[in-house]
A and B are shown apart, each in its own frame.
Chain A
Amino acid sequence: MLSAMILLPLALALAVLFLPGDEQAQARMARLVGLGTTLVLFAMGLVLWAGFDSSTAAFQFTERAELFGGLFSWHLGIDGISLVLILLSVFLMPLCILAGWDSIKTRVPEYICAFLVMEALMIGVFASLDLFLFYIFFEAGLIPMYLIIGVWGGKRRIYASYKFFLYTLLGSVLMLLAMLWMVREAGTTDIPALMAHDFPVHAQTWLWLAFFASFAVKMPMWPVHTWLPDAHVEAPTAGSMILAGVLLKMGGYGFIRFSMPMFPEASVQLMWLVFALSMIAVVVTSLIALVQSDMKKLIAYSSVAHMAFVTGGLFALNTQGVEGAMVVMLSHGVVSAALFFCVGVIYDRLHTRDIDRYGGVTTNMPRYAVFFLLFTMASIALPGTSGFVGEFLALTGIFKANTWVAFVMATGVILGAAYMLWLFARVMFGAQKNADAAAMPDLSAREWSIMVPLALVALWMGVYPKPFLEPLKAPVESLMARMARANAPQTQFTPLLAKAAVAAAPAVAHETTGHSE
């Protein structure tokens, strides 16, 4: 099933390049093939969800084939965390194809090909259970995204595409070295086995930092977030949607799948680093978002702020924090994709993202305004929307870990409300400043078909989040059990003794596993 979900879009991505007919006919066919494929994958995603057993943290739908000469293997499988992220990917993908339906006019088959390859790689990242296989999928995504930004992007697309590529590559290569060392130490490339392996504590810090270099860039965390606004501004609408919707989640997924279970001691040790960066990110990027004049840039900076809730929640290292972080990721995936699409709607009409060029859009596009308002509210985490569930849980988790961090992070919610509401006010309300902006027609049928699913999911997650939380329960619990090894001594002993205990515990654990082997 999972292999099929990876190979099917790859095969069709190749097929799209061989369509018959003239350019017009090819473009039409390519769009249909793209939409059809992504819808089939969405259906396959729903089948996965239906057949998924939420009561266990074990990996399901596992497949394994020794294709690569014993160096690593084709090993796939999902737990609840992977499941929800795969669902997010396959849900967003048809909408992305629809979003570029009319606005992309040149080289359509290649465009559809890039998106289908992208989808295969995203599913691969979330489904791979082999360390090197994961790395290959994780890095391979750079190439189609580089092409999407570079070929179909805006004016400064070339600068943005380089920056995107080299930034993320630089972060990842150090992770590769760490992976090589880990495989040597543990003697396996199997992710489930590595998650249970106790790495020596002194090495964990280095390994953790190497992985952090990669995931922090991908996430992105302050201060390595600067590629994101550039990439978003220059990417076509669908590119931004997939970038914000899914690619950023790979960083969070990395923390939850690798950094935390594989290096629990280091995660506890370096908790302060993540907290510090998250606090700075929330405040600083929110303030930066406040002064943006470009709509896409504003939403891009707000993404960085929201991702800080994810990192903060994850490294609160308690159940609420991690679950909250996961829900923030899902919610942000839907809401930020929706917001980028909202910007895309008026950009298609006026070809500018300058906030000042708009004003009073509510008058001529009332239906559009309703959706924009809904997603704005979801972005500032109004109760009843998806954003609230995630941010509330994440803040609860952070509060339990450290009150002051929670205090600073909570200001992000207020600042978030400020910049989003101000954006909405400037674009949607007030006087109609420009005649061309006043003449924009309301949503088309195609745009409705994108807005409605996004809005429904945003509300569904806000009102009844249980179906989304359910699959997360078991894997988060087993993650917490794993973390408890590093965490527990601190709560049981006096601080002075605790230090010794932390140092001694892993050594003992290491010995016992050594004997049992």
Chain B
Amino acid sequence: MTLQQSLSIGAPELVLGAGALVLLLLGVFRGNDSVKGLSWGAVILFVLTALTIVDDSPVRELAWNDLYVADALSAFLKILLLVGAVASVLMAVPWLERTNVSRFEYPVLIVLSTLGMFVMVSANNLLALYVGLELMSLSAYVLASFHRDDQKSTEAGLKYFVLGALSSGLLLYGISLIYGFVGSTDFTQIASGLSAGGERNMGALFGLVFVLAGLAFKVSAVPFHMWTPDVYEGAPTPVAAFFASAPKVAAMGLFLRVALDAFSGMVGDWRQIVIVMSILSMYLGALGAIAQTNVKRLLAYSSINNVGFMLIGLAAATADGASAVLLYLAIYLVMTLGAFLCVLMLTDVDGRPVETLDDLAGLARSRPWLATALSIFMLSLAGLPPLFGFMAKLAVFNAAVDANLWLLAVLGVLASVVAAYYYLRVVKVLFFDQPAGVVVGASGEGTLVINKGMMLLAALFCSPAGYLLLGPLLSATRAAASSLF
């Protein structure tokens, strides 16, 4: 493998990394007024990166001394990550202008975090994984406390940092155990090392548990979910939207690769852990959300709940299951971004954000389209037909039935009924209750058009019209999943 080949295979990361540095320099020289221009610069950068990905051939290629892998899976995940990143940058523009936190670091940090996630989904080595994960997380910690004059925001950042550091520690400890007992950090060699010895490798098993714990923290699966509601609530809304979308995609994609590629020889071992996490996440996410009065906390529990469903697909440990997880991720990404876009548009007379559920009462009267869009996202997140979110749930249940995981499938569908309750509660507040009159009129002009456009696109995607995209989506997820098997 020559350096030149490695460079061309790793083009997306190189473009993104170089672009991030250019943006940073521009920002330093032009000051905080340039935030809008920088945001658009970041979007252009993301589009350029997307072109380098689409350009790639779908063959599996290793680069950088096998640290890095480019295959259909990483390409699919990277496209999703870019969608999440573009939406997060664009939706923040009016917010940055409105509040007094207009600082140029925002788009730069998003780009850096996205770069970290790119490395994560292309990692073919536990160390590359760790480097990517840390780059993503460190940018995210700063983003969480971006509203630095706000007590809640700084608290969120600190909490995220402390708990994130703990999970990184767990992950590193797991990596060291695996290295010690298997003798390599390379995914391919771990896989062959594990399948070589006849008896169970207890040390590697311990390492696996720690690695899974670290990854579960990043996807906020129960019992490593505690940070999620606090961070989502405290972080500024565009940042929370980013946290709920792109890093979930990256971490879940990484989860797939580690579990199905590196530890494909220990399916029986990790499957039990994943099943338990899945059941706990589904139920705790559903039950925890019932008591919430803050929309962002509710969305946090919703993401915990949805991660539980994704883990069903992983537990199946089949190509169908992996494809189901990827389909779920794609649909979940749009639903979540859409829901946060709606939350971002909820402002009172003075333009302050409105986040309590009670204040949304009767929104269908004052802002019918916003209420309709939010309802579509809620019902879609609940997985109710005819909305597109149903397809995501259908795919994972299909995988579970295929793998004969009947208990998990039955518990899963029952959890979806429990979860439907709190999603319906939002619809009830929006449509049935008497107007509270807190959310009035649209605030800010100009750039909001983009937010409205994105919201409309997301709502269309989640509506039954989304089913028409099922063909291309399925062929993409199947191709991506097949690169793991």
Contacts and interface: CB of A to CB of B under 8 A. Distances in A.
Given A69-B473, A70-B471, A132-B394, A173 B428 contact: no
B33 interface: no
Interface stretch (B108-116, B152-160, B396-404, B452-460): B396-404
A68 B470 CA distance: 5
Interface string B386-413: 1000110010011001100000011001
Contacts of A150: 428, 431-432
A165 B410 contact: no
B474 A174 contact: no
Contacts, number: 84
A71 B399 CA distance: 13
Interface of A: 67-71, 132, 135-137, 139-140, 142-143, 146-147, 150-151, 157-158, 161-162, 165-166, 169-170, 173-174, 176-177, 180-181, 184
Given A140-B384, A169-B417, 4 more contacts: A69-B470, A136-B386, A146-B427, A162-B421
B425 to A, nearest CB: 8
Ranked 4 nearest A-B pairs via Cβ: A69-B471, A173-B413, A140-B386, A69-B470
Contacts of B421: 162, 166
B42 to A, nearest CB: 33
Nearest to B398: A180
A4 B296 CA distance: 41
B385 interface: yes
Nearest to B418: A166
B474 A142 contact: no
Interface string B441-485: 000000000000000000000000001101111110000000000
A257 B48 CA distance: 53
Contact of A184 (B401, B432, B473, B474): B401
A248 B400 CA distance: 31
Contact of B409 (A166, A169, A177, A184): A177
A180 B401 contact: yes
A161 B420 CA distance: 13
B413 A174 contact: yes
A151 B431 contact: yes
A69 B469 CA distance: 8
A146 B379 CA distance: 12
Most buried by B among A67, A140, A161, A173: A173
A139 B467 contact: no
A142 B384 contact: yes
Given A136-B386, A158-B428, A177 B397 contact: yes
Given A70-B471, A136-B390, A169 B431 contact: no
State the majority secondary structure of interface residues on B.
Answer: helix
Contacts of A139: 384-386, 390
Give the bracket for the number of chain B residues in contact with chain A. 20 to 34
A71 B397 contact: no
Contacts of B401: 177, 180-181, 184
Nearest to B401: A180
A317 B21 CA distance: 76
B414 interface: yes
13 contacts: A68-B468, A70-B471, A70-B474, A71-B391, A71-B474, A136-B385, A143-B384, A147-B431, A166-B421, A169-B417, A174-B413, A181-B401, A184-B402
A141 to B, nearest CB: 9
Contacts of A173: 413-414, 416-417
B470 A71 contact: yes
B467 A166 contact: no
A184 B474 CA distance: 17
A176 B397 contact: yes
Contact of A67 (B385, B424, B467): B467
Interface in B183-216: none
Interface in B110-154: none
Given A136-B390, A151-B432, A69 B420 contact: no
Contact of A143 (B379, B397, B414): B379
Nearest to A142: B384
A70 B467 CA distance: 11
Contacts of B470: 67-69, 71
A166 B420 contact: yes
Contact of B432 (A136, A137, A157, A166): A157
Contacts of B474: 69-71
Contacts of B427: 146
A174 B471 contact: no
A212 to B, nearest CB: 16
Contacts of A135: 385
A174 B416 CA distance: 11
A459 to B, nearest CB: 38
Most buried by B among A143, A158, A162: A143
